[in-house]
Chains A and B, each alone.
Chain A
Amino acid sequence: METLHITAAKPESALLDLPWRLPLEEWPDNLLAALPRGISRHIVRFVHLGKRVLAVKETRDHFAFREYDLLRKLGKLEIPCVVPTAVVTGRIDDDGEPLETCIVTEHLSFSLPYRAVFSHSLRPDTATSLIDALAVLMVRLHLVGFYWGDVSLSNVLFRRDADGFAAYLVDAETGDLHRELTAGQRSYDIDLARTNIIGELFDLEAGELLDFEIDAIGIGDTLVERYNALWSALTEVEAYSASEHWRVDERIRHLNDLGFDVDELSIVTDFDGTTVQIQPKVVDAGHHTRRLMRLTGLDVQDNQARRLLNDMDAWRSAHERHEDSEMMVAQDWLMSTFQPTIAAIPRDLRGKLEPAQLYHEILEHRWYMSQRLEREVSLTEAAEAYAEEVLKDRPDEGALVAATPGDQEVAAMDPSLALESTTEAAEIAAIEAEDAAKIAVLRDSEEELDSTTVIRAVAAAGEKAAEKVVAGDSAKAVAGDSAITAPIPSVQGSSVPKAPSIPPRVSVKRPE
């Protein structure tokens, strides 16, 4: 007999509490953390489990194990990617019919899907920042020998990283880890990335989700350029005259500036010793992250780390601490500057952004304040002003992923969808009210083609509606007591197109 089997790296007994006997499509709403979902070929749901949010994806057995394995390997290689939690096999429903295997991953906190990022910001250069982040991720993956096979904006999540973003790989299903990639594999990945990104941008345009004109093809081409530039900087052979030894240091410094460390450098001198060729053999991303971690124990992303390190260096100069060890200076900077600044942010606002991101934004804010006031502004003063003028009105990005009904939020960002939903909701609900025992979620398709239209109907309200169903009066009962949650407008702040406050379309599913 088939038995439920959970393969996990750590004991995860809490996973047993999830309703594995139900197809993922039918998991009750009270479990779901409604997050914005990307365009995926599988059914994916985000669920609350204690304080965590997990992503659960239904797929075939061997794909699940493969992906689990790949994500673990990538994690060990320190590639930014989601962390796999478990593979759940041997699922059967109440009738004994087998259900698909699930792969469970930890949801990445403070992460943003590209749809959210695009609608968030009015800055046209956001697109370029995303593309840069993706180019860095692709280069890192290719350096370790990972062929992705399906690069797209939907298959990554973005985290704020100082001025820009850091990209995380979410979906490794089509990928493969090789000892070394061929030029063909890299060029195929880049070409597919370009095509997919342009397609995704066309789609945002078609959905009128963008606040500004963009050149989709131009952005796609930018990815190819950025990728190629970074790849050459990291891997190219450089030849110079044997007397110019400083070129080695320069190359390494340049790589450090790009955020990479050189683990191995091949230096080849030609026959008569007049020229030298250097080529980095092994490079690792996260140069600034590692340095900051070593000095302060803060674990942040690379650009954030660079920003904090710069601030620390400036503090060191200002306090004339050049004689002291770097480690000691770092500790003092942490105690006297970093922590008090974060502490100056009111407690209830502090969770909205990661501390390192907060600090970066406070530094930015201080610069603008000094410009405006034409005087020095202290960090504490800047922090207080920042909390009042900026942070208060910012969406809670920790909670954007954990608490807001994401489907609704996407609809709110997406006027076309919300408008489409004006029709039918009440009618459908009424017509199908005989069956209203089960007001279900519209799961548009197996392939989750259009998760953005999915609006949750509250199960409890559905039951209520069912209670009210009396012969001949059913339509009114349901229509009058709509079990439908309206989209929440403006969760994303002022840049969000206002969604009409009308019930979105739901589909009412008959119990089979």
Chain B
Amino acid sequence: MATVTFDHATRLYPGSEKPAVDQLNLHIEDGEFLVLVGPSGCGKSTSLRMLAGLEDVNAGAIYIGDRNVTDVQPKDRDIAMVFQNYALYPHMSVADNMGFALKIAGTPKAEIRQRVEEAAKILDLTEYLDRKPKALSGGQRQRVAMGRAIVRQPQVFLMDEPLSNLDAKLRVQTRTQIASLQRRLGVTTVYVTHDQTEALTMGDRIAVLKGGILQQVGTPREMYDAPANVFVAGFIGSPAMNIGTFAVADGKAKIGSADVALDAAVDGDKVTVGFRPEDLEVVAAGTAGAFNVEVDLVEELGSDAFLYGTLVDGGDSMLAGADQVVVRIDPRNVPDKGETVSVAIKPGLAHVFDATSGERL
């Protein structure tokens, strides 16, 4: 087991002027499940491959534990790329399928058997060890593939979008399994995904990247409750946070016809305010700080309902994402299309960002 440290780690591809990963500083605790998340091209996979030794580190360093692995060959880094290779061998028993890499490494037979048995116990595969893979279900086979990585007892597991070739249903199942397995094993794990839901549900901590630059790292709760900038605010959460840029006067933002008091001090005449759909409540018309929304559409999900509407008297204020306001409403009390409802941001739940830099105020 070990910590992982990126110390100003930078990857500049030959022929490119902008680094794919720019001065990444990230410390991952021993046993932690860290998720690297961000849109395509943000540098998350490149960061993982730098840790794996597949990408050169052009500046800075990477440590596994106290060991500087910046110039160490991939196979000597004591890491395992999980799910990289999960074709199972049909003529070999499940035990042999799990342990063959140890056999290649010359590990004594008794020790191979012992490690395979331990892994099988964790993976609920004990009773299948002497069977052939064809006797297993799809899920069990995937666990055998996982077992291959476990028996090697690496310091760090690396997973690069492992669920991307599964269908939606299996993806949700497997995601829970991987997360709980990782907790049982306690092996430091770095996991890459583009899917913020996956990140929120699986990670002990999440690191959000954009354009090769680390935006924020924190627990799922921290990322959700206190996004460090507009990008993180919009990226984490589904449906996404309502984010708009509004005129500001006397410390109050002009949202529609309402003047909304802000918790943070604002310089200048514009401010960016974010509010999550569930942090809005429907109130009586005329309530202080409430603004009006005209209903375009209501999406009913049974337990929840989401209203998609247009800000009334929005003026030149700009809302991200199709200029729409999304409100979570009581599914048993749904307004009609075309109606106008008054909504207010629950106290203390507005996120205030600098209109120019996008940083949280």
Contacts and interface: CB of A to CB of B under 8 A. Distances in A.
A206 B100 CA distance: 12
A191 interface: yes
A187, A194, A206, A220 interface centre (most CB from chain B within 10 Å): A206
Contacts of A198: 100, 104
Interface string A442-473: 00111101111100000000000000000000
A449 B87 contact: yes
Interface string A202-230: 11101101000000010010000000000
Contacts of A444: 134
A270 to B, nearest CB: 25
Contacts of A313: none
A449 B141 contact: yes
Contacts of B86: 41, 447
Given A188-B74, A202-B100, A452 B87 contact: no
Interface string B96-117: 1000110110000000000000
Interface string B68-111: 00000111000000001111111110001000110110000000
A196 interface: yes
Interface in A327-364: none
B4 to A, nearest CB: 17
Contact of A59 (B53, B75, B91, B165): B165
A182 B164 CA distance: 26
A63 interface: yes
A128 interface: no
A196, A207, A220, A445 interface centre (most CB from chain B within 10 Å): A445
B175 interface: no
Interface stretch (A148-156, A231-239, A276-284, A303-311): A148-156
A206 B92 contact: yes
A247 B92 CA distance: 51
Nearest to A194: B104
B164 A452 contact: no
Interface residues of B, number: 32
Contact of B134 (A60, A180, A182, A453): A453
A199 interface: yes
B144 to A, nearest CB: 10
A29 interface: no
Interface residues of A, number: 46
Contact of B91 (A154, A207, A220): A207
Nearest to B56: A182
A149 B87 contact: no
A444 B54 CA distance: 35
Contact of A449 (B15, B75, B133, B164): B133
Interface string A398-424: 000000000000000000100000000
A41 B87 CA distance: 6
B302 interface: no
A198 B106 CA distance: 13
B14, B86, B89 interface centre (most CB from chain A within 10 Å): B89
A109 interface: no
B89 A200 contact: yes
A129 interface: no
A39 B90 contact: yes
Interface in B278-311: none
Given A39-B89, A198-B100, A446-B138, A179 B14 contact: yes
B54, B55, B88, B165 interface centre (most CB from chain A within 10 Å): B54
B54 A203 contact: no
B15 A179 contact: yes
A449 B88 contact: yes
B17 to A, nearest CB: 14
Contact of A202 (B13, B56, B73, B96): B96
A204 B13 CA distance: 41
Nearest to A180: B14
Contact of A450 (B13, B73, B133): B133
Interface in B117-134: 132-134
A239 to B, nearest CB: 24
A150 B89 contact: no
B165 A150 contact: no
A450 B53 CA distance: 33
A22 B53 CA distance: 43
B56 A184 contact: yes
Nearest to A451: B90
Given A180-B14, A184-B74, A449-B133, A192 B84 contact: yes
B56, B74, B92, B133 interface centre (most CB from chain A within 10 Å): B74
A150 B84 contact: yes
Contacts of A206: 89, 91-92, 96
Nearest to A62: B164
Interface string B138-150: 1001000000000
A226 B31 CA distance: 39
B87 A445 contact: no
A59, A220, A450 interface centre (most CB from chain B within 10 Å): A450
B190 interface: no
A150 B54 CA distance: 14
Nearest to A187: B73
A39 B87 contact: yes
Contacts of B55: 182, 184-185
A40 B87 contact: yes
Given A59-B165, A60-B164, A187-B74, A202 B134 contact: no
A195 interface: yes
B187 interface: no
Nearest to A63: B165
A144 to B, nearest CB: 15
B75, B91, B92, B165 interface centre (most CB from chain A within 10 Å): B91
Contacts of B101: 195, 199
Interface string B23-61: 000000000000000000000000000001111100000
A204 B165 contact: no
Contact of B104 (A180, A195, A450, A451): A195
Contacts of B88: 39, 447, 449
Contacts of B85: 150, 152, 192, 195-196
A453 B14 CA distance: 48
A184 B141 contact: no
13 contacts: A60-B164, A179-B15, A180-B14, A184-B53, A184-B56, A187-B53, A203-B89, A206-B96, A449-B134, A450-B90, A450-B132, A451-B90, A452-B90
Interface of B: 13-15, 52-56, 73-75, 84-92, 96, 100-101, 103-104, 132-134, 138, 141, 164-165
Which 5 A-B pairs have CB atoms at the shortest separation, nearest pair first? A207-B91, A203-B89, A450-B90, A206-B91, A184-B53
Given A206-B96, A450-B90, 15 more contacts: A40-B87, A60-B164, A63-B164, A182-B54, A183-B73, A184-B53, A184-B56, A184-B74, A187-B53, A187-B74, A188-B74, A194-B104, A202-B100, A203-B91, A416-B91
Interface of A: 39-41, 59-60, 63, 147, 149-150, 152, 154, 174, 179-180, 182-185, 187-188, 191-192, 194-196, 198-200, 202-204, 206-207, 209, 217, 220, 416, 444-447, 449-453
